[in-house]
């Protein structure tokens, strides 16, 4: 089992930056991958970025965040990060971190590839 806790959300003006963190506990060392998802009101949950836990290779960035967001992890501290720059109002959503402990390898942009989820942190970008 893995427990996840996000932090770092908040209110920021367009063009600003935020850094999200996700602390993992439990069997974090055995994870295949972690990812950041987001869900805006009335929309489906979408993958923002994913990262292979052991190697740190970033497997996927959503097109709309490429060049603005950077996913990283410190596996000595079992923590994943999402650096978000040049934020715009379309980035407003609840951001969730997710862990793949038992799903193995596959399409890491799919929510079904993750078996543990954090409670989410709100990111609001004002225009």
- Model confidence pLDDT, tens digit, residues 31-88: 899 999 999 999 999 999 999 998 888 779 999 999 999 999 998 999 999 999 999 9
pLDDT at 126: 97
Q: What is the pLDDT of residue 55?
A: 84
pLDDT band for position 27 (cuts 50, 70, 90): confident
**The predicted structure's pLDDT at residue 5:** 95
Distance, CA of 22 to CA of 45 (rounded, Å): 18
The chain-wide mean pLDDT, for the chain, equals 94
Q: Which pLDDT value is given to residue 75?
A: 85
Alpha carbon separation from 54 to 10, 60, 81 (Å, rounded): 29, 15, 15
In this prediction, residue 30 has a pLDDT band, given cuts at 50, 70 and 90, of confident
Residues 6+ apart with CB under 8 A from 44: none
Rounded CA separation 15/104 (Å): 37
With the CA atoms of 37, 82, 25 and 77 taken in that order, what torsion angle do they form, in degrees rounded to the nearest 10? 160
Q: How far is CA 97 from the centre of its chain?
A: 4
């Amino acid at each position: 089992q893995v427990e996840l806790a996000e932090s770092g959300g908040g209110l920021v003006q367009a063009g600003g930056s935020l850094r999200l963190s996700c602390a993992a506990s439990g069997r974090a060392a055995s994870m295949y991958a972690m990812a950041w998802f987001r869900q805006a009101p009335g929309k489906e949950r979408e993958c923002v970025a994913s990262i292979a836990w052991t190697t740190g290779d970033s497997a996927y960035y959503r097109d709309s965040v490429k060049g603005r967001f950077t996913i990283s992890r410190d596996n000595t501290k079992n923590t994943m990060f999402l650096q978000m720059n040049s934020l715009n109002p379309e980035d407003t959503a609840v951001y969730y971190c997710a862990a793949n402990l038992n799903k193995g390898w596959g399409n890491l942009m799919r929510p079904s590839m993750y078996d543990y989820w954090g409670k989410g942190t709100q990111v609001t970008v004002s225009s």
